[in-house]
Amino acid sequence: MEDLDLAEVASVTRRLAIDAGAAILAVYERADVDVRFKGDESPLTEADEAADRIISAGLRKAFPGVALVTEEQADSHVVEAAQFFIVDPLDGTKEFVQRRGDFTVNIALVEHGAPIAGIVYAPAKGRMFYTTATGEAVEETGPFAHDHTGTQKALRMRTPDPDALIVVASKSHRDQATDDYIAQFKVADARSAGSSLKFCLLAAGEADLYPRLGRTMEWDTAAGDAVLRAAGGEVVDLNTHQPLQYGKAGYDNPFFIAKHTDIALP
């Protein structure tokens, strides 16, 4: 396992996220987008593929000794390594196709099963969240440029009020099981958002709880998980209440709850 400089990781992944975001927006702003479907019936567009090419090439050039797992390259899904980058070049393709802005670029570094660094960039929203070399979570204010960073705001989850929680849930995958789970808490407000942006809303103090009782993959969650952990939150298995682990065979996640560490689960 390489001893990586986390400042370099943050710099490289930020630059690649900006470039991938620009490629995605170039397709998003066109009148027509060709949509295909993968074997699992999830949508795929040329924006997914363009972003994947940019990020994959950049990571392999900057960190040639580190394994890479990316959603859009099936041959990368058999990697077994204690240290690897994991990428979802366009999370929220349904939001992208439906012209909602809640799609994100996601890049994370995993070591020994835990996401230790990550970036989530929502180019249509103009929001960028990432971990720093010192282990903090920040949101950077755009415009976003290669040669300098904008103003950074430190992120920390708000202290939750157990009698007035703010819950965020998926726009595209909300179901009765999720509603039944949320009903076990005292909720003051329920919001909807797409993609990994939900983790970042928690990290930014805009929500307290995000339950996901549906199928996700490790590349869907790793970057947002890294940001949330750095902001004082956690993402835990629905049944065991243990932190999500990364690098599992098949890269499937269990159902999970993202939350402030102070929130007690039923």
pLDDT in tens, 73-106: 999 998 889 999 999 999 998 888 888 899 999 9
- Which residue is listed with tokens 């795929």? 44
Q: What is the pLDDT of residue 38?
A: 76
Boundaries of every domain in the chain: 6-154, 165-260
> Could you tell me which of 147, 146, 153, 110 has the C-alpha nearest to residue 130?
153
- At a CB cut-off of 8 Å and minimum separation 6, what does 249 contact? none
Q: How confident is the model at residue 41 (pLDDT cuts 50, 70, 90)?
A: low
Q: What is the pLDDT of residue 171?
A: 65
pLDDT in tens, 151-206: 999 999 999 999 999 999 886 667 889 999 999 999 999 998 888 999 999 999 99
pLDDT at 225 over 80: yes
> What fold is seen in the domain 165-260?
D-Maltodextrin-Binding Protein; domain 2 (3.40.190)
> What fold is seen in the domain 6-154?
Fructose-1,6-Bisphosphatase; Chain A, domain 1 (3.30.540)
- Tell me whether domains 6-154 and 165-260 share a fold: no
